[in-house]
A = this chain, B = another copy of it.
Amino acid sequence: MSHTNRRVFIRQYRDGMPLPEDFGIEDTVIGALPAEHALVKVDTLSMDAWIRTTLTPGAFHETAGLGSTIRALGVGQVVESTAAGLSAGDWVYGPLSAQTHALLPAGALTKLDLSNSIQPRDYVGPLGLTTGLTAWVGLIAVAEVEAGDTVLVSGAAGAVGSMVVLLAKARGARVIGSAGGPDKCRYLVDKLGADVAIDYKNADLAAEVAAAAPGGINVFFDNVGGEILDVALANLAPANARIAICGAISQYSDLANVRGPKNYLKLAERNAAMKGFVVTHHAARFVEAKAEIAALMREGKIVLPEHVVDGIDHFAEALLLLFAGGHTGNLLVQP
């Protein structure tokens, strides 16, 4: 049986921020399945900042070819399968991409564990590789947050940032979130329970961070890069602070001219560490991470607000919303 797939593809590359006309939409027909494949009806796609780096040649994730479907991770339900381990109706997670139907080798898909009232969509949310697990790994495995730490999170109103705020609070830290605009700042305090919210668009960032962290920052979880990274370095605690470099969304539009942190010598002055991480390198700790997050979800301590965009036709729009930081919480597309 053949299926029609509607997909969103890259029409052209652009220096700087992509525009709507850089994307195209088309319908294709999916024919018979090769062996060991599954056809997945895409349910929900995770709108992640890393997608930005696939849209420009030379960026650090593999660039998507012109005409190829925009890469995205998501959850969906198997419609047909030629693989032994997968049957129609199974829920799976994988690189489903910006489309309504994904035809993939079974090895690219992970069957979801839906015990303990976990919903499929949690796997692109609190339990998602690029959302909850990324936050957990950066905050806990990499930055080794401790109760009593003062934690600064940039891009705190985004999906990863929101999870970092929630996890850091659950671990007993004092949390300062930075985000753009008063609405997001209210969200940080009212919805997530951040202790302090700093509006980087309207604040003297250096002065506000210094005022919010008089004893210095013990942990900085950076999603943004640029000025906030230098401000954080200048305000590190006197000793043993940890910076987790998750991303640098402020720099992704011009990766040839990244702003390097000119205050990096504070690392030497204050015996501090700046650690980058690839979430999958910490896979040995995913069981522990998922158990902690799931338990906090059951206790109601982790409720990750969502911003859901309906319809694959609006995928590119949602992507541009993500890059512009126009959402709060977990931005998802339901094809």
- The chain A residues found within 8 Å of chain B, CB to CB, are 60, 225, 230, 239-240, 245-248, 251, 255, 257-278, 281
B residues within 8 A CB of A248? Answer: 265, 268
Q: This chain: how many copies in the complex?
A: 2
- Do residues A247 and B262 form an inter-chain contact, with CB atoms below 8 A? no
9 contacting pairs across A/B (C-beta < 8 A): A230-B260, A245-B268, A248-B265, A261-B264, A264-B274, A265-B276, A271-B276, A272-B275, A274-B274
The reply to whether A262 and B260 form a contact with Cβ atoms under 8 Å apart is: yes
In the complex, how many angstroms separate the beta carbon of A275 from the nearest chain B beta carbon?
Answer: 4
Contacts A260-B261, A262-B257, A263-B258 given: A247-B268 contact, CB under 8 Å?
yes
Instruction: Please pick, from B240, B262, B274, the residue contacting A258 in the complex, using a CB distance under 8 A.
Output: B262
B264 A260 Cβ-Cβ under 8 A: yes
**Contacting pair A269 B278 (CB below 8 A):** yes
Flag if A60 contacts B269 (CB, 8 Å).
yes
The 7 closest A-B pairs by CB, nearest first: A267-B276, A260-B260, A268-B276, A260-B262, A273-B275, A271-B281, A271-B278
Q: Give every chain B residue within 8 A of A269 (Cβ-Cβ).
A: 60, 276, 278
Whether A267 lies near B263 (C-beta < 8 A) is: no
Instruction: Report whether B276 and A273 are in contact in the complex, using a CB–CB cutoff of 8 Å.
Output: yes
Question: Given the complex, which residues of B lie within 8 Å of A277, measured CB to CB?
Answer: 268, 271
Q: Residue A60 contacts which of B225, B245, B265, B281 (CB distance < 8 angstroms)? A: B265
Nearest Cβ distance between residue A48 and chain B, in whole angstroms? 14
